[in-house]
Chain A
Amino acid sequence: QKEVEQDPGPLSVPEGAIVSLNCTYSNSAFQYFMWYRQYSRKGPELLMYTYSSGNKEDGRFTAQVDKSSKYISLFIRDSQPSDSATYLCAMRALGGATNKLIFGTGTLLAVQP
């Protein structure tokens, strides 16, 4: 079993739709959760960074963490064609010497105009 599971998609939605992207994980020690956006042939760009459980909102993006279910989500409201990209979840445990992030394989999102 992989430590982090993420549906690879592709996910295709019409412009203006609400998008839900999800990851599940198995390691209960994970405390920090991140979402990265990666455009084709580019490096990942940090979108959201949350600690422990709860919600965090930034503009059209909301990150949600449910540690009891080992489940994290990223919601995109009023999706735009410019949101078309691969979305990677990442997480790590508290402490440790490496700050090692464990990544999901990414979900490819296409927002149709």
Chain B
Amino acid sequence: SQTIHQWPATLVQPVGSPLSLECTVEGTSNPNLYWYRQAAGRGLQLLFYSVGIGQISSEVPQNLSASRPQDRQFILSSKKLLLSDSGFYLCAWSARVTDTQYFGPGTRLTVL
């Protein structure tokens, strides 16, 4: 069966510091991968998606970037965090572009 991992689970970072969140999927090959941010009362906002290694599409221009160095690894990064980057970050995968998405456990990021 497929599993999706995210780490760290929680993170507290000062404004202006860098960020690296990691997501890995097991049990499937060539998944589509997604990064979402969930803010209180605002639902899930799609940030990035990837259909293959090195292929990243951005949905919302912002202070974040994503990379996919390996087939089942997806990384969310920032060079300098802003207060507004605080939130719950979720990684998701789907088997094909038309399949539904399955979410990881999330990373709660607090920027102080």
Contact = CB atoms under 8 A, between A and B. Distances in A.
Contacts of B42: 105
Contacts of A106: 43
Nearest to A6: B43
Interface residues of A, number: 24
A28 to B, nearest CB: 19
Contacts of B90: 43-44
A98 B106 contact: no
B20 interface: no
A41 B108 contact: yes
Interface string B62-75: 00000000000000
Nearest to A95: B98
A70 B103 CA distance: 26
A44 B103 contact: yes
A55 to B, nearest CB: 18
A45 interface: yes
Contact of A32 (B32, B46, B100, B103): B100
Contacts of A4: 43
Interface string B33-73: 00000000111101001010000010100000000000000
Interface of A: 4, 8, 32, 34, 36, 41-46, 49, 88, 90, 96-101, 103-106
